[in-house]
Each structure stands twice: as structure tokens, then as C-alpha cells.
Amino acid sequence: MMTPALNTVPFVSVEHMMRIVLAVGVERVLADLAGCIEADFRRWESFDKTPRIAAHSLDGVIELMPTSDGTAYGFKYVNGHPKNIRSGRQTVTAFGVLADVGNGYPVLLSEMTILTALRTAATSALAAKYLAPPGARTMALIGNGAQAEFQALAFKALLGVDRLRLYDIDPAATAKCLRNLAGLGFDLQPCTSIAAAVEGAEIVTTVTADKQNATILTDNLVGAGIHINGVGGDCAGKTELHPDVLRRSDIVVEYAPQTRIEGEIQQLPADHPVTELWQIVTGRVPGRREAAQVTLFDSVGFAIEDFSALRYLRATLAAYPFFTELDLLADPDEPRDLFGMLLRARDRAA
């Protein structure tokens, strides 16, 4: 349980996060996260929504993603720097905070590099639950980097996908993925081209990372009836799919105002029709309607998913208390006496 001290904030480090995920089980965490995200998407209208606040530079972007449901407030700090790989750093790192709207005090600070990888995969699988062909078991996984295994396990946990066809421009990435996923219940097939990978796949996940417009999927590679889970295109100037693929697909997004800037649909006119995932989750719009339909989840990651993830994490700490208390907030004996707190610290030291 949390200590009720006013001046400390529970902090979940990277090490803590790994212990929590291992204690609960990765697939269980992914399924639970998808459940939390689904529950929050059902009450979509109760959230403050704003596109993320981005600070772009030549090398990358730093973003703040805040949201609130009127009771809790959450935000995530996240960067995206493709060149980081070369200096042994993560392309994307993140941390986040959950706070009490009633008094403004933070109630949780957490690493979110791992948590973002988990919630991104959980959101993809949640979308696929409504959009993929019923009974789909085979997924092409194009891009075998940091997000790949999480996607694979989320689709296994939520949809029962257990046949993976892997491709990466770098065979070492595919080899890493094969190593990591061995023994986890998949039939794993490395492929030597994108065309080979999509063959026979009912779901195609693209999760490549490069800060530029790339064409991972061209129209001729996309057969009738498949579901495309487009995860890698997630900022202005960074896309993975040929516009012809988009024009043939029924497109589902998280939050249209943000996705039109950051997603695959930045390649389309601003009025191209899209459905927001919450509309499908709440039953206002049907998911997959027919067998031949090509569906696309144009994933960019939205603040509410991080909020859901932080809320899930906070609840999980009750059973898995892997955190420390951080002395983050000044707590003078008398709230107006901030300076006096300083004087008393001096007297204690003397």
C-alpha cells in the first residue's frame, strides 16, 4: 500500500517495472492493459483531449502528452530520436506522472519506456480485436526492433495469434526477435522479403522506425481481407504505407486531430473519412463488416492510453509493491511557511 505521507510520491523505476511485469506475466499485463484502455475508450467523452505538445529539432522530438478525466490527471514525457541507436541509446524513452486533480499533487511517477511499449502493443491488439478477420492466427511482423515482441505477445494474448512471419531490413533484428520469442508458444517464420512475410498473413503489423517517409507496404502486397496494424508511422514526415494502400482501407485511428498530423493519413486529404477506435469500442460504428474488407489501424499513440497505463500501474502496486517513495514535494509543517522549512533544515544541520 502507498504511504500516505504528503511529501512523497511513489516512484516505479525501470527495475521495478521489470519486476512487476515479470511477476504479473507479460501476456497478462498486455491483456489487462488492453482492458483498461478499452474501459477508458468507452468513456472517451469524459476525457480532456489535446494533441501532444511537441518540441521538434533536427535530430528528433520531445513531447508532452497530458490528459485528464476530471478526477485524475496524467502526462507522459516521451522523446523520439532515431539516431540514438548509434550512441547505444533508446530511440524512444519515456516517463510519466499521474496526479490528483482535486489537489494537484502527483500520486505516481513511473518509467514509461517499457510501459509505453506495453500499452502500444495492447492498443494495437485491442484495435485488431474489432478489425482483424475472425479467427486470424497468422501475423506478418515487419520491423523487428524494440516494439516487435510486445506486438507479438499482445496479439497472442488478445486474439490467439500464434504464427509469426518476421522480416526486418536488418537480419540481426529478426534473429534477436526469434531468440526472444522462442519457447513462448509461437510458430516463427523468418522471411527474406516483405512480400514473403505478408504471404498468407491475415494481419500485417508494420513497426519500422526511421524519421522519414518510407514505403514498407505497397498496394500490390495487400490482399483482400487483411488487417493492417500500422505502428511505425507516428510523426509528421514519418510514414510506412503507400497512399494507395490507405485509399483501399477502412481506416481506424485513435484521435483524428492528432493522427492527421502524425499518422499514415498525413498523406491523405484532411477530410478523408476515418473512424476513431472509441466509436467502435462503444458500438457506435461497427468494426470489421465483411471478409474482403481491408482494415487499417493507423496507430500513433494517444495520451489516454498512457493515462490508462498509469492508472493500471497504480492499481497494480497494491498487490505488487515494487516502488520507492520519492521526496519530490515540499511539505512544510505549516503550508504557508516554505521559508521556515528551510530555516529549520539549517537548524537541524547546525
Please, which of residues 50-79 interact with its own copies by CB under 8 A?
50, 53, 55, 57, 59-62, 64, 66, 68, 70, 73, 75, 77, 79
Nearer to its own copies, 115 or 252 (CB): 115
User: Distance (Å, rounded) from C-alpha 260 to C-alpha 316?
Assistant: 34
145 is a contact residue toward its own copies (CB under 8 A): yes
From candidates 28, 42, 102, 193, binder to its own copies by CB under 8 A = 102
CB of 122 to its own copies, least distance (A): 14
C-alpha cell at 283: 458500438
Residues in contact with its own copies, counted by CB under 8 A, come to a total of: 83
For residues 103 to 132, the per-residue mask of contacts with its own copies, x marking binding by CB under 8 A and - elsewhere, is xxxx----x-xx--x---------------
C-alpha cell at 105: 499533487
Angle, CA 127 vertex, CA 35 and CA 313 arms, to 5°: 30
- Whether 230 and 166 have beta carbons less than 8 Å apart is answered as no
From the candidates 32, 40, 168, 234, give the one annotated as an active-site residue.
234
CB of 139 to its own copies, least distance (A): 16
C-alpha cell at 33: 492493459
DSSP state of 240: E
Stretch that binds its own copies, among 88-96, 125-133, 187-195, 308-316 (CB under 8 A): 88-96
User: Distance (Å, rounded) from C-alpha 209 to C-alpha 211?
Assistant: 7
CB of 303 to its own copies, least distance (A): 11
- Whether 210 and 199 have beta carbons less than 8 Å apart is answered as no
Asked if 234 is an active-site residue, the reply is yes
Q: Where are the alpha helices (DSSP H) in the chain?
A: 14-24, 26-42, 113-131, 148-159, 171-181, 194-198, 243-248, 256-262, 277-281, 303-316, 338-349
User: Distance (Å, rounded) from C-alpha 276 to C-alpha 256?
Assistant: 7
User: Distance (Å, rounded) from C-alpha 350 to C-alpha 110?
Assistant: 35
Nearer to its own copies, 144 or 275 (CB): 144
From candidates 148, 166, 253, 313, binder to its own copies by CB under 8 A = 148
Residue 81 three-state SS? coil
Nearer to its own copies, 268 or 328 (CB): 328
Nearer to its own copies, 180 or 279 (CB): 180
Q: Where are the alpha helices (DSSP H) in 182-334?
A: 194-198, 243-248, 256-262, 277-281, 303-316
322 is a contact residue toward its own copies (CB under 8 A): no
For residues 164 to 203, the per-residue mask of contacts with its own copies, x marking binding by CB under 8 A and - elsewhere, is ---------x--x--xx-----------------------
Nearer to its own copies, 66 or 287 (CB): 66
CB of 89 to its own copies, least distance (A): 6
From candidates 2, 44, 84, 282, binder to its own copies by CB under 8 A = 84
From candidates 5, 85, 224, 292, binder to its own copies by CB under 8 A = 85
146 is a contact residue toward its own copies (CB under 8 A): yes
Q: Is 343 exposed, middle or buried (0-12, 13-18, 19+ CB in 10 A)?
A: exposed
From candidates 10, 80, 233, 287, binder to its own copies by CB under 8 A = 80
93 is a contact residue toward its own copies (CB under 8 A): yes
User: Distance (Å, rounded) from C-alpha 289 to C-alpha 227?
Assistant: 12
Closest CA to 306 of 258, 343, 264: 258
Nearer to its own copies, 153 or 246 (CB): 153
Nearer to its own copies, 81 or 260 (CB): 81
Instruction: Tell me which residues are annotated as active site.
Output: 234
